[in-house]
Amino acid sequence: MSESGAFLDWYGCATFRLKTSGLCIFLDAYIDRAEGAAGTNLSADDIDQADWIVVGHSHFDHLYGAERIAKRTGAQIIGSYETIRVMEQAGVPLEQMICVSGGETIDLGHEVKVSVYPSQHSCVWSHSQMADAGEVCLGELGLSWQEQRSRFEELVKYLATEIPPPSIQHLIQTSQGDRGDGGALIYVFHTPDGDILYQDTSGHWSGILDMLRPEVAILAAAGRGNINGQPIQGSLAQFMGQQAARLAPQRLILCHHDNWMPGFSIETDIEPIREELSQVVPSTQLLELDYLDDTQILPIR
């Protein structure tokens, strides 16, 4: 492992391995995939080195596998109170985990710290299958919790009856008894070479993003964007452009944009996002990672 700079391996969906300052940090831990899904053909059981596991929220496509990596490597898990509850039930000792909800800064050692901020989950209740990145979505503003919940239950029925059997089997296998997303979080890693922002679902509080100026931003590019609790009135590409304009990173990396669960997810068309970014933040470099390509993201020269 290199001691200089920051390197990123993408495992698919929103899971990465960040190597910096001699540390090995997993961003989410979802590596196992349904049959026919995009990914690395690896399992969480294949991971034999990790110092930290930082989890953005408690859904299976972010948390599943963290318990095995933590037990195998001794890595400490950082996540929401719901994430920690699920991991404790999976047999991870409480002393191996840190509960956060936003506002904390944790010293990871080796001159690396991570600051935690509250965030928002994408408006998953507003659709069944994912929309194309350039498709404009309107309406569904001001819905009550009960109305959103009713629409989410329709999504659950869709998943149970319409997606391919391998994906259904995968859903059953990965069920960990989570009670929703547990409160989505974003993380900013402070390294000797610069700051890295990590977001694993398409949502944010605008006032929080306005405070942050990371050199590198990892942003989720899937689903309908959530801005301050309301669905974007526009496209996913426009949502990505708005976020990038608020953060003004020098480099931007996408996540959650592959076809990680056939029948529900789609492979995001990057072209509308690429075009939007070129217009809104022309000075930001879009780094397009492939699986496990060990990309150096810092320092920026």
In the chain, where the domains are located: 6-123+176-296
Candidates 163, 177, 267, 154; CA nearest to 221 is: 267
- Please classify residue 103 by burial: count the beta carbons closer than 10 Å to its beta carbon, then call 0-12 exposed, 13-18 middle and 19+ buried: exposed
* 82 vs 266 pLDDT, higher one: 82
- Please classify residue 270 by burial: count the beta carbons closer than 10 Å to its beta carbon, then call 0-12 exposed, 13-18 middle and 19+ buried: middle
Secondary structure (3-state) at 116: strand
pLDDT of residue 247: 98
Average pLDDT over every residue of 138-144: 94
- Which residue reads 């100026």 in tokens? 213
pLDDT of residue 128: 67
Asked if the peptide bond before residue 164 counts as cis, ω within 30 degrees of 0, the response is no
DSSP per-residue string spanning 1-66: --SSSEEEEEEETTEEEEEETTEEEEES------TT-SS-S--GGG----SEEE-S-SSHHHHTTH
pLDDT of residue 155: 85
Distance CA 298, CA 193 (A): 6
Average pLDDT over every residue of 132-137: 93
pLDDT of residue 170: 93
Q: Which amino acid type is present at position 188?
A: V
pLDDT of residue 1: 39
pLDDT at 127 over 80: no
pLDDT tens digits, one per residue of 14-32: 999 999 999 999 999 999 9
pLDDT band at 157 (very low <50, low <70, confident <90, very high): confident
Question: Between the CA of residue 22 and those of 5, 83, 108, 110, 268, what are the distances in Å?
Answer: 10, 26, 11, 7, 33
pLDDT tens digits, one per residue of 246-285: 999 999 999 999 999 998 888 999 999 999 999 999 999 9
For the 6-123+176-296 domain, the top CATH level (class) is alpha beta
What size, in residues, is the chain? 301
pLDDT band at 91 (very low <50, low <70, confident <90, very high): very high
pLDDT band at 3 (very low <50, low <70, confident <90, very high): low
Distance CA 130, CA 134 (A): 12
pLDDT at 131 over 90: no
Strand order from edge to edge, sheet including 105-109: 105-109, 112-118, 185-191, 194-199, 216-220, 251-255, 285-287
Give the torsion through C-alpha atoms of 174, 291, 199, 287, to 10 deg: -170
Query: 176, 61 in Cβ contact below 8 A?
Result: no
pLDDT band at 301 (very low <50, low <70, confident <90, very high): confident
pLDDT band at 218 (very low <50, low <70, confident <90, very high): very high
Distance CA 69, CA 75 (A): 7
Of 50-64, 128-142, 228-242, which gets the smallest average pLDDT? 128-142
Phi and psi dihedrals of 300, rounded to 5? Answer: -95, 120
pLDDT at 2 over 70: no
